[in-house]
Structure 1
Amino acid sequence: MKGSLIVVGFFALGLLAGRSGCMPTWLMEGDISMVALCALLLFVGIGIGLNPDMKNELKSLSPRLALLPLVTILGSWMGAAVAYLFLGGGICTFLQHRELTDCLAINSGFAYYSLSSIFITEYRGAELGTIALLANIIREMATLLFTPLLARWFGPLAPISSGGATSMDTTLPSITQSIGQRYAPLCIYHGFVTDFTVPFLVTLWCA
């Protein structure tokens, strides 16, 4: 929760700095976002490579539970389609100027707000990148807040899917506290797989 609030604070600070007109023009003309994107991918790889127990944790999983990331991906896309139906398909005009692929790209961030929002900004512009940032932060914060209720109402796998890519890091303590430490390997595996798919799936829908 604290990390998400810090990210939102820096985002608001960036908005204020941009609106103030005091920022140098070379920030907009250069490839700062691409450099930041490459740095993020580098640190994601380092974080995965530094986990010495990843191999043993993956071996301990049930073959049936190994499909959970796929279910999370498909469920997120179904949610995006429903959101587009209500917000852009004629029922509401909020996303009328957007396409279904925009909603699918946003939901393909799986709560990995930093990486997905940079990709979407590069491909579809700052407006959609901002929506992606906020939507994925809200997904992470909702998982942190409502994990006990999700586990009670929908079972132990629900908060793992809700956490998306964050189920292996920021939301892991909250999830394991509610559903038990025995699900920790599944959380890490689920977060690793969904985390890995973010650049490819976001790029797919943006393209």
Structure 2
Amino acid sequence: MMGALVVIGCFVAGVLLAAFDLWPQGFEADTLTLWALFALLFCVGVSVGSDDTLRRTLARMRPRILLVPLATIVGTLAGSFLVSFAISDVSPTEAMAVGAGFGYYSLSSIFITQYKGAELGTIALVSNVFREIFALLMAPLLFAWFGRLAPIAAGGATTMDTTLPVISRVCGRDWVFVAMLHGFAVDLSVPFLVTFLCAW
């Protein structure tokens, strides 16, 4: 929850700096965004490569478990596609690109801003931050209403990190393995799906 508030605070600070002309003149925000994206992708690679727990998890993986992240990806994209018909200014592929962030707000919003502009990038940021907050707050109810896989699916890409403690507490420690694998697989899909959908 604190991480999401920090992200929102940074976003608001950036808006205020630009709105009141406190941003350095001649400094291209697009250039900074691109380099931030490169640095973020590098850090993601380092964290994945250095995570011993994740490597052990992958070694014990059963192919059937991959159906969980696949269902999350297909369900999210289908839901985003349907929602697009209720929003006049957003095309189906744009809505699906926003949904394809799967809660990974930092990476997906940068990609979408690069490809589609700041307005859709802001929608992606807010939408994916809300997804994480929803998963954190609603995990007990999702578990009670729909079972152990529901909080994991709702968490999207965050089940590998920020929502993992909540999932462990609500679903039980036996489901940590599934949550980590789910988060890893969904996490990896974000840059590919977002860029593919933004290119249409």
TM class by shorter-chain length? over 0.9
Is 1:105 the equivalent of 2:97?
A: yes
Letter in 1 for 2:123: I
Letter in 2 for 1:86: A
TM-score between both structures, scaled by the size of structure 1: 0.92
What's the C-alpha RMSD, in Å, of the aligned pairs?
1.2
Letter in 2 for 1:24: P
Change in Cα spacing, 1:30 to 1:78, as seen in structure 2 (3 Å) is closer
Distance in 2 separating the partners of 1:138 and 1:21: 29
Query: CA offset at residue 28 of structure 1?
Result: 2.6
Query: CA offset at residue 167 of structure 1?
Result: 0.3
Query: CA offset at residue 81 of structure 1?
Result: 1.5
Query: CA offset at residue 23 of structure 1?
Result: 1.0
Which residue in 1 is equivalent to 2:14? 14
Post-superposition Cα deviations, 1:64-103, rounded to whole Å, max 9, x if no partner, equal 222111101000011102211222xxxxxxxx23211100
Q: Is the 8 A contact 2:168 2:176 kept in 1?
A: yes
Q: Is the 8 A contact 1:111 1:140 kept in 2?
A: yes
- Give the alignment of 1:1-207 within 5 angstroms: 1-28=1-28, 31-87=31-87, 96-207=88-199
Which residue in 2 is equivalent to 1:91? none
Change in Cα spacing, 1:181 to 1:29, as seen in structure 2 (3 Å) is closer
Distance in 2 separating the partners of 1:30 and 1:72: 32
Secondary structure, aligned partner of 1:31: helix
Q: Is the 8 A contact 2:100 2:190 kept in 1?
A: yes
Change in Cα spacing, 1:29 to 1:136, as seen in structure 2 (3 Å) is closer
Distance in 2 separating the partners of 1:199 and 1:142: 22
Secondary structure, aligned partner of 2:28: helix
Letter in 1 for 2:136: L
Secondary structure, aligned partner of 2:51: coil
Q: Is the 8 A contact 2:156 2:186 kept in 1?
A: yes
Q: Is the 8 A contact 2:81 2:93 kept in 1?
A: no
TM-score between both structures, scaled by the size of structure 2: 0.95
Change in Cα spacing, 1:178 to 1:28, as seen in structure 2 (3 Å) is same
**Which stretches in structure 1 are left out of the alignment for 5+ residues?**
88-95
Distance in 2 separating the partners of 1:141 and 1:128: 20
Letter in 1 for 2:111: F
Distance in 1 separating the partners of 2:116 and 2:105: 15
Query: CA offset at residue 30 of structure 1?
Result: 5.5
| Number of residue pairs matched by the alignment | 199
Post-superposition Cα deviations, 1:147-180, rounded to whole Å, max 9, x if no partner, equal 0001111110111111111000000001110000
**Percent same amino acid at aligned positions?**
45
Change in Cα spacing, 1:151 to 1:36, as seen in structure 2 (3 Å) is same
Distance in 1 separating the partners of 2:120 and 2:98: 8
Distance in 2 separating the partners of 1:153 and 1:29: 45
Q: Is the 8 A contact 1:61 1:186 kept in 2?
A: no
